[in-house]
Amino acid sequence: MTKNRDMRGEGLEPAAGNGLIDRRALLGRGMLIAGAMGTGLGGSSASAGAEPLTEEPWSLEFGDRTPPYQVPSKFEAKVVRTLSNPKHELRNSHSRTPHHLLEGTTTPNGLHFTINHGGIPAIDPDKHKLVIHGLVKRPLEFSVETLSRYPMISRTTFVECGGNSAPMFSPEPLQETVQALHGLASCAEWTGVKLSTLLEETGVDPRAKWLIAEGADSPRLSRSVPMKKALDDAMVVLYQNGERLMPGNGYPMRLLLPGYEGNMNVKFLRRLKLVEQPAFSMYESRTYAPILPNGKAYRFYFLQEVKSFITFPSHGHVLKEPGLYEISGIAYSGTGRIEKVMVSADGGQSWAQAALQEPVLSKAFTRFRLPWRWNGGPATLQSRAWDESGEVQPTRAEFIVARGELAKPPPVLGFNNQHYNSITSWGVGSNGEVKHVYV
Amino acid sequence: MFTFKHAIFVASVCMVSMGGALLAETPNRGKPIDEAAIAPWDISILPDGTGLPKGSGTPEQGAPIFAEKCSGCHGENGKGGEANALISDRELIGISAAQKTIKNFWPYSTTVFDFIRRAMPFQMPHSLNDDEVYALTAYILAGNKLIGPNDAMDAQTLPKVKMPYRDNFILRFPDRI
């Protein structure tokens, strides 16, 4: 018992090298960790004592008016997406989720990543139509209003761009935040109609093996989707975290293909054509077909494979003093639930199993946590995820053998290859600064 | 006792057994529309040429259109500018996607027509007629020496253009198709 009462965390059960502490110290013992992380009884670095309490102006006056739609506090102005095309030039625009400034597993709607290739269309929902045709028994047209009459389901799932983490193909670690490296993935609760329900109404000609999904944006972004996926868990979604889809996320309706490459989740969805063969649209022919070291290229890389990364501490954070911290991060997989996340503080020499925050949902962000006592020396933090289907996040060395790396460091906004899912390493220096490193 | 719920159940079983129609299970709110009414939106093209429209164009016809409407971003003669090079002898070396060109990577010529028609020019999409799209496609393919300088592209000739990299793709997840 005595060691569990040590509020400095020094007596907590070590789980792996360089200060990692057993995850069970977190479970049901939140007070222990909270106490240990604060100024702490007996903490050597704690100051002598707190100043007498005073009143601040906001506690002495009637507060601000209540807006019809509230936005975050003005003190959170730095918690925003980073933009690839802030001047809105005639090209595509990316916005990246600030994972290092967020917690939990739900991405707020205003911070969900977006990539739009022809700007964001200003769609009047009363005039928007979705048609399903081609190899169907009877083509049908749906409006937002008619779809709203259908039985709905809600599904919490991540969406990730096939080019997310592309800067990790660099031969040298780019000194960038987790937002720049992994910000093209977000997670929301999506509500809408199962596509299989609509396909029951149209009827499906057995010759149909694919459907071509197309948006109402000016480039009519289009992707080919196997009927297997369309009849499995695909949805036509209308709502994002309880409210209507954000304009940049596909308002008023988008295709949702849980676990599949973001670009296939066609936004502003207006047409689904059932066909026998894929269309080989530009995005599936060129953009999302990764070149391999042997000179060949992958085609139809549907899945976003198992991945994890530590969001705290990560590049840009500074640890002010040695002591007990909670390592926290995100894990997800396009092939099911996260089964296990292991964390290392010594660059992969030893590993401890992280606690997974409930609920652990299939194809959704899963928050992992592990207590860590930083002794003030160098540390290399890593996370590695496993999913229920047996898929394992590869080490960078394993990944590079199979998929190669770039000859020279790329621009951080470039998409010089796709579908990177290996381990991210953060190097904590003796000064508390966190750098991106390769092990 | 035979209830209203029973009646619905029996009705739906009957409908399922009658040729697999599952209409009873859904709200059935979709509005029937025939393919002729969908045609103005149906711009899908398949690699075998299915969906290619009437019309035709030659490299010579494409050159002035390209100079006027495309070279501002894609550079003179398609050599590249702010936007990608469209005519290039660059080889695919290493894994960088920046090496990809139409000639060294795109598996099907139909994709060139399809993408121009659906997305280009970026500032004025859907402003080109089908003859102009064929002409631009021919101009780009001829510039890349994938067709002859006088070859006209149309619904019959375009799908027959053999793209050099076509046989180098590996299906990543064949069991998901």
The single-letter code of the amino acid at A106 is T
Residues in chain B within 8 Å Cβ distance of A127: none
Contact A407 B23 (CB under 8 A): no
Q: Work out the angle between the directed axes of helices B130-143 and B110-119 (0-180°, nearest 10).
A: 130
Contact B22 A200 (CB under 8 A): yes
pLDDT value at A102 more than 60: yes
User: What HEC string does A16-53 produce?
Assistant: ECCCEECHHHCCCCHHHHHHHHCCCCCCCCCCCCCCCC
Alpha helices per DSSP H over chain B: 4-17, 35-38, 59-69, 71-74, 102-105, 110-119, 130-143
In angstroms, the CA B25 to CA B28 distance is 8
- pLDDT for A172: 97
pLDDT in tens, A316-363: 999 999 999 999 999 999 999 999 999 999 999 999 999 999 999 999
- pLDDT for A26: 73
- pLDDT for A28: 54
Contact A140 B82 (CB under 8 A): no
Residues in chain A within 8 Å Cβ distance of B47: 277, 279-280
Residue from the list A149, A296, A416 with its beta carbon closest to the beta carbon of B97:
A416
| Residue, of A392 and A90, whose pLDDT is higher | A392
Query: What size, in residues, is chain B?
Result: 177
Three-class SS of residue A343?
A: strand
Residue from the list A226, A228, A285 with its beta carbon closest to the beta carbon of B108:
A285
pLDDT value at A38 more than 90: no
pLDDT in tens, A272-325: 999 999 999 999 999 999 999 999 999 999 999 999 999 999 999 999 999 999
What rounded mean pLDDT belongs to chain B? 90
In angstroms, the CA A324 to CA A8 distance is 7
Q: Work out the angle between the directed axes of helices B59-69 and B130-143 (0-180°, nearest 10).
A: 100
Residue from the list B43, B48, B108 with its beta carbon closest to the beta carbon of A220:
B43
Average pLDDT over residues B75-94: 95
Cβ atoms B66, B78 nearer than 8 A: yes
Radius of gyration of chain A (CA): 24
Contact B173 A302 (CB under 8 A): yes
- Strand B169-171 relative to strand A297-299: parallel, antiparallel, unpaired? parallel
ipTM: 0.91
Residue A187: enclosing H or E segment and its boundaries? strand A185-194
Distance from CA of B144 to the nearest CA of A (A): 17
Contact B35 A133 (CB under 8 A): yes
pLDDT in tens, A227-270: 999 999 999 999 999 999 999 999 999 999 999 999 999 999 99
- pLDDT for A10: 55
First to last CA, chain A: 38
Cα B23 to its chain centre, rounded Å, is 33
Average pLDDT over residues A56-82: 97
In angstroms, the CA B108 to CA A286 distance is 10
Token pair listed for A285: 């022919």
- pLDDT for A11: 60
- pLDDT for A27: 58
Burial of A276 (0-12, 13-18, 19+ CB in 10 A): middle
- Give the angle A323-A52-A76 at the CA atoms, nearest 5°: 60
**Which pLDDT band holds residue B1 (cuts at 50, 70, 90)?**
very low
Distance from CA of B52 to the nearest CA of A (A): 12
What are the residue boundaries of the structural domains of chain B, listed by start? 56-166
pLDDT value at A32 more than 80: no
In angstroms, the CA A205 to CA A208 distance is 6
Cβ atoms A434, A316 nearer than 8 A: yes
Average pLDDT over residues B49-68: 98
Residue A206: cis peptide before it, omega within 30 degrees of 0: no
Helices then strands, each counted (H, E), chain A: 7, 25
Q: Which residues on adjacent β-strands are paired with residue A433?
A: A318
The single-letter code of the amino acid at B60 is E
**Which pLDDT band holds residue A25 (cuts at 50, 70, 90)?**
confident
**Which pLDDT band holds residue A192 (cuts at 50, 70, 90)?**
very high
Average pLDDT over residues A131-148: 98
Cβ atoms B48, A277 nearer than 8 A: yes
pLDDT value at B4 more than 90: no
Among residues of chain B, what percentage have pLDDT more than 90?
A: 84
In angstroms, the CA A192 to CA A194 distance is 7
pLDDT in tens, B127-154: 999 999 999 999 999 999 999 999 999 9
Average pLDDT over residues A377-392: 98
Burial of B118 (0-12, 13-18, 19+ CB in 10 A): buried
Query: What size, in residues, is chain A?
Result: 439
Average pLDDT over residues B88-112: 97
pTM for the whole structure: 0.92
Distance from CA of A112 to the nearest CA of B (A): 25
**Which residue in A has a C-alpha nearest to residue B110's C-alpha?**
A280
User: What HEC string does B15-64 produce?
Assistant: HHHCCCCCHHHCCCCCEECCHHHHCCCCCCCCCCCCCCCCCEECHHHHHH
What rounded mean pLDDT belongs to chain A? 93
Contact B33 A214 (CB under 8 A): no
Token pair listed for A391: 């898929």
Residue from the list B30, B94, B172 with its beta carbon closest to the beta carbon of A299:
B172
Burial of A151 (0-12, 13-18, 19+ CB in 10 A): exposed
Burial of A188 (0-12, 13-18, 19+ CB in 10 A): buried
pLDDT value at A43 more than 90: no
- What CATH number was assigned to the domain covering residues B56-166? 1.10.760.10
Cα A428 to its chain centre, rounded Å, is 23
Average pLDDT over residues A353-374: 98
Other Cβ atoms less than 10 A from the Cβ of B65: the count is: 19
